[in-house]
Homo-oligomer: A and B are copies of this chain.
Amino acid sequence: MASAIHYAATLRTLTPLGALPDAALNTLLSQAHSHSYPKGQPLFNQGDAVGHVAIILSGWVKLTRTSASGTEAVLDVLSTGHILGLQHFFAGTPHPCHAIVAEDAEILSISATLLPPLLAQHPALTLAFLQTLAQEKNALEQELEGRALQNAAERLGCFLLRLVPPAQHKSTQPIEIKLPFDKTLIAARLGMKPETFSRALASLKKELNLRINGSHITIPRVGVLTKQSCASCSGVFPCYQRNCR
Contacts and interface: CB of A to CB of B under 8 A. Distances in A.
Copies in the complex: 2
A66 B234 contact: yes
A23 interface: no
A66, A140, A142, A241, most chain B CB atoms within 10 A: A140
A131 B96 contact: no
Interface residues on A, range: 35 or more
A67 B133 contact: no
Interface in A134-163: 134-138, 140-145, 147-149
Contacts of A123: 120, 123, 126
Given A130-B133, A141-B96, A149 B71 contact: yes
Interface of A: 46, 65-69, 71, 73-75, 86-93, 96-97, 119-120, 123, 126-127, 129-131, 133-138, 140-145, 147-149, 191, 230-236, 241
